[in-house]
């Protein structure tokens, strides 16, 4: 078995290939400020945040929904992103729940909060970054950025 593993390792090195990482996906489409679809048609919901909702059916879009969606779209659309998971991997809508990181290490969930593009939304049992997100939202509120800017309401 060892010779086979050695040969496989050499082949991978020589071909400049690396085994694929199942937790790295490519973003096909941003749905709104907290949800996107991968090229594998998997729906990903960002853990710990809640973005303003776009118009659905007869309901009006929430204030700042378009800006939040555009912000996430410009950050990750077409990009490869790394997914990290918490206690629960799926929600009741069968969406994959994840913390998302860009290739240049931007923590997308927190970046949305930092820029006032989403609200802190702790939801048990996925609370790995709950305290950090609360602090980040507090700073965004204090700085009056994005949804916290009183001039935009």
Q: What is the pLDDT of residues 31-51, one digit of tens each?
A: 999 999 999 999 999 999 999
Give the Cβ contact number of residue 75 at 10 Å.
19
118 in any annotated domain: yes
55 in any annotated domain: yes
The domain tally of the chain equals 1
d(CA 45, CA 99): 9
The CA radius of gyration of the chain, in Å to the nearest whole number, is 18
Long-range contacts of 135-142 (CB under 8 A, 24+ apart): 136/110, 137/113, 139/114, 140/113, 140/114, 140/115, 140/116, 141/116
User: Is 62 marked active-site?
Assistant: no
Catalytic entry in 45, 67, 110, 137: 45
9 in any annotated domain: no
The pLDDT of 125-153, averaged and rounded, is 95
Of 120, 111, 117, nearest to 138 by C-alpha is: 120
User: Is 141 marked active-site?
Assistant: no
pLDDT of residue 141: 97
138 in any annotated domain: yes
2 in any annotated domain: no
User: Is 95 marked active-site?
Assistant: yes
Supply the pTM of this predicted model. 0.83
Of 21, 22, 20, 48, nearest to 33 by C-alpha is: 48
15 in any annotated domain: no
Percent of the chain with pLDDT over 70: 84
- SS3 state at 18: coil
Q: What burial class does residue 54 get, using C-beta atoms within 10 Å of its C-beta: 0-12 exposed, 13-18 middle, 19+ buried?
A: middle
Catalytic entry in 42, 53, 62, 80: 53
- Please list, in sequence order, all residues whose beta carbon lies within 8 angstroms of the beta carbon of residue 61, skipping any fewer than 6 positions away: 52, 53, 54, 55
pLDDT at 12 over 50: no
Of 80, 119, 71, nearest to 100 by C-alpha is: 80
pLDDT of residue 36: 98
Catalytic entry in 67, 95, 110, 137: 95
123 in any annotated domain: yes
Domain that residue 76 falls in: 20-148
Unique residue bearing structure tokens 């949800």: 35
3 in any annotated domain: no
pLDDT at 7 over 90: no
Looking at residue 41, which CATH number applies to its domain? 2.40.50.90
């Amino acid at each position: 078995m060892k010779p086979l593993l050695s040969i496989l390792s050499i082949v991978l090195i020589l071909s400049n290939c690396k085994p694929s990482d199942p937790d790295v996906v490519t973003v096909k489409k941003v749905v709104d400020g907290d949800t996107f679809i991968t090229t594998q048609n998997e729906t990903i919901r960002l853990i710990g945040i809640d973005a303003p909702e776009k118009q659905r059916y007869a309901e009006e879009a929430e204030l700042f929904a378009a800006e939040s969606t555009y912000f996430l779209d410009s950050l990750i659309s077409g990009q490869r992103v790394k997914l990290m998971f918490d206690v629960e991997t799926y929600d009741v809508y069968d969406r994959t729940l994840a913390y998302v990181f860009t290739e240049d290490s931007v923590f997308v969930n927190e970046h949305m909060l930092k820029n006032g593009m989403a609200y802190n939304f702790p939801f048990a049992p996925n609370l790995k970054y709950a305290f950090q997100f609360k602090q980040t939202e507090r700073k965004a509120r204090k700085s009056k950025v994005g949804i916290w800017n009183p001039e935009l309401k």
